[in-house]
Amino acid sequence: MEAEDKKKSVIMLLIDSLMHEPLSRAIKSGQAPAMKFLLENGHYEPDVISPFPTMSVTVDSSLLTGVYSDRHKVPALVWFNKKENRIINYGSHIRELIKLGIKQSSRDIFYNLNQMHLNQQVKTIHEELAENGIETCSINALMHRGSRDAYLHVPALASWVTGLNHTVKINAPQLFSYGGFSKINPGNLSLLKKFGFNDRFTANELRHLIRLNQVPPLVLAYFPDLDQHVHKNGRNDVKGVAKADSHVQRILNSFRSWEDALKQNIWIVLGDNGQSWISEKKQVALIDLRGLLDRYRIVKLKKGVTSDDQIVLAVNERMAFIYTLDHENLPLQQVAEQLKEDERIDIIAWKNEKNAVEVISGGGDGKLIFKQGGDRADEYGQSWTLEGDGKVLDLTVAETSVAYGKFPDALARLYSSCFSHEGDYLIVSAKPGCEFIGEGSPTHIGGASHGALHEQDSLVSMIIAGTDSKPKYKRIVDVKEWIKQIVESQSGG
């Protein structure tokens, strides 16, 4: 690290669903001056690869831990916990949360996700830096586990509705902010929208630290609002980017000048997942898994798993886990063949008895079988054994190498998901234009959605300003180690 970079704080602005095309348009049209300033004074990566499934809780778990879901064990926004025999949902839609039980869902969202489900055997960047005596800060981030005692302060009405105690003890970073449940700035009153889980609240918290000159060596600040704009208006929504940029402007304006902001800090602006367009035609857009699998008995959300049930659906927008509860009488291959009849399904994958991953596609005939280790290496230094038709995953397979097409880092991302949790399950990923629905699933007809393996869901923008260094690879899973090295270098570690 160069001498002039010493003692800078690293400020990461994690902007949900920040993608190259709308960011580029916003900058060219003058609607994103703050991000333009950082980009022109830094380095830009338009195509950083998001983990799979491309849902924020899984993505952000990889961001914090530097590993994929086979190791951090947060499989998706919605999944089936075999040990507890129940569906876990971290907030897909209020309809589903009510059916599953609002008290259990609230405990999963506000406590279990970070404190129990995120694997204790892997350390977050907050935990690792704390071991070296380096202070960090998390503002509104979904994933935030640290090594200090912290408390969520649940208002009386929310406590009554959710069943959470008025005070919930958690492990978090030294500086921790989580909407109206935990504030750094007591005067931050931006609570009307989603009780503080909004961009203005995040920006106000960070500005407070800047004004007091209390920015620690690492700040991770999450901006959720763009995601909803893109869901509604489509993947090229420039206005949503402009609104996000307005908050970045307010943050930079907290310094004497934008140039001072750059001199004093290293800035990283990063998307977490992309979004794919969704057809305006309902009959094209929505892949109803209950209809495709209507010959089987599917678990009802409100009833929970009964002895008669055969199938569990865990729908994550453009991706879904489909579990068989009786593998001997209802093997995954049988369910896969049923799903294969729908050409809107891009990928159907599962872990077989030999711990290899099998992949087929809707409307196609080919099959690919792969496992870790072997004689073919990819661009990320990962080696694989492949058998069958590489075209199923749009792979270019040579004698000693494998290259990716429209499914970036497909082998590692799909493999990790197949080994992310216990159970007999299929993974399905939809083609652009389409999304899965189950019982009470949110829909985004004519807008955009994510979750899938496709590059539209998977590629995000990253702006780096204030340092010449960058991650080893252009993947979110590689960001943690890179940030850790920068912060430790700045702190003399």
Q: Give per-residue pLDDT as tens, 56-77.
A: 999 999 999 999 999 999 999 9
Tens digits of per-residue pLDDT, 97-109?
A: 899 888 999 999 9
**DSSP classification of residue 379:** T
Report, as an integer, the average pLDDT of 367-380: 96
Range name among 152-166, 206-220, 264-278, 306-320 with the lowest pLDDT average: 152-166
Question: Can you give the pLDDT at residue 241?
Answer: 98
Judged against a pLDDT cut of 80, whether residue 4 lies above it is answered with no
pLDDT of residue 493: 56
d(CA 462, CA 464) in angstroms, rounded, equals: 7
Percentage, residues of the chain above pLDDT 70: 99
- Averaged over 362-372, what is the pLDDT? 92
Give 105's contacts (C-beta < 8 A, 6+ positions apart): 89, 91, 97
Rounded to whole angstroms, how far apart are CA atoms 307 and 184? 48
The CATH number of domain 3-74+118-278+453-490, selected from 3.30.43.10, 2.60.40.10, 3.40.50.300, 3.40.720.10: 3.40.720.10
The pLDDT of residue 81 is above 90: yes
CA distances from 16 to 13, 48, 199, 362, 462 (A): 10, 13, 10, 30, 12
Model confidence at 1: pLDDT above 60 = no
Residues with Cβ within 8 Å of 151's Cβ and at least 6 positions away in sequence, in order, are 167, 168, 169, 170, 182
Q: Where are the alpha helices (DSSP H) in 1-151?
A: 20-28, 33-40, 56-65, 69-72, 94-100, 102-107, 125-131
Domain boundaries, the chain: 3-74+118-278+453-490, 282-446
pLDDT digits (tens, 9 = 90+) for 213-230: 999 999 999 999 999 999
Q: How confident is the prediction for the chain on average, in pLDDT?
A: 94
Q: Which 3 state secondary structure label does DSSP give 195?
A: helix
Question: How does pLDDT run across 20-35, given as a tens digit for each residue?
Answer: 999 999 999 999 999 9
Contact status, residue 346 vs residue 456, Cβ threshold 8 Å: no
pLDDT tens for each residue of 407-421: 999 999 999 999 999
pLDDT in tens, 240-267: 999 999 999 999 999 999 999 999 999 9
Can you give the pLDDT at residue 7? Answer: 87
CB atoms within 10 A of CB 467: 21
At residue 192, the 3 state secondary structure works out as coil
Per-residue tokens: 169: 């003890």
Query: Which pLDDT belongs to residue 427?
Result: 98
- pLDDT at 19 (0 to 100): 98
> What's the confidence (pLDDT) of residue 2?
41
Compute the radius of gyration of the chain from its Cα atoms. Answer: 22
| Token reading at 413 | 């991302």
Cα separations (Å) of 15 from 24, 56, 463?
15, 11, 11
- Residues 431-477 have pLDDT tens digits of 999 999 999 899 999 999 999 999 999 999 999 999 999 999 999 99
pTM (predicted TM-score): 0.95
Mean pLDDT across 376-399: 96
Q: Contact, 58 vs 51, CB < 8 A? A: yes
